[in-house]
Amino acid sequence: MKKVAFGVILILLLLAGTTQVLAQSLPNKVIIMVWTDKQFYQSGEGGKLYISIFNNGPDNYFIENITVEYPWMCYIGGKWEGNQTIIPEEGKDSIKSGEYYSQEIAFKVPSDGRAESGEIIVKIYVDRAPYVFDSTNPVTGTYQFKYGSPYIEIAKEYPLNISSVDKIVTLLAVQIILTVISALVIAAAIYLSIKKLTKSPTRPPSPPPPPREE
């Protein structure tokens, strides 16, 4: 039992030492990482945005809210769409020095023409200076967005026009018919040539006998 307890204590000490080494290797500021669950998205597809905050600075912060603006954000139908505001749960809204905070946000790419690739703007509002960690200004003396400004890529597919498909099918059919006719003509020519060559030669007729002299 003592050996098990000693092993658990040793593992905890190693983990604490590893965390301390990692913290010392990072800049002495708030480190923010933002990324998506996929590299590419299609129109109408859902996705997830991950926000990770590690406070490696000396100050403690209270997170008031997090706002996210996607490239397709616009004012439509009397309201703003393409943006989100997240208010952390009570008791999980503070990030003291040396603490870690994470947030997972679900979003959906619009299925209309608003779906565009571009930068995702993330702003984390806090209760003290600088009062906002802004991804459009990714590196300051207080905080740093480790991967820079997050970006989302929309893969667009352009469907073929029905009339264009009909034209392509017609051209393919004509090409197939011409190919078959050409093959038949060539085969007939080869057959006639071979038949002519293999035909047995005819013997010329014998000349008439000379007339008799009386």
Average pLDDT of the segment spanning 14-34: 68
Residues 96, 188, single domain; the answer is no
Q: Are residues 91 and 176 in the same domain?
A: no
Say what the pTM is: 0.64
| Same-domain status, 81 and 31 | yes
The number of domains in the chain is 2
pLDDT on residue 12: 46
Q: Are residues 140 and 36 in the same domain?
A: yes
Long-range contacts of 136-143, Cβ-Cβ distance < 8 Å, separation of 24 or more: 140/29, 141/29, 142/29, 142/30, 142/57, 143/29, 143/30, 143/31, 143/32, 143/57
Residues 123 and 62 in one domain: yes
Residues 118 and 179 in one domain: no
Q: Phi/psi class of residue 44: alpha, beta or left (left: φ > 0; alpha: ψ in -120 to 50)? A: left
Are both 126 and 166 inside the same structural domain?
no
Sheet strands (E) in 77-149: 79-86, 94-95, 100-108, 118-119, 121-126, 132-134, 143-145
Query: Looking at the domain assignment, is residue 20 inside a domain?
Result: no
| DSSP reduced 3-state for 159 | coil
pLDDT in tens, 148-178: 888 999 997 665 555 666 778 888 888 899 8
The boundaries of the domain holding residue 165 are 160-196
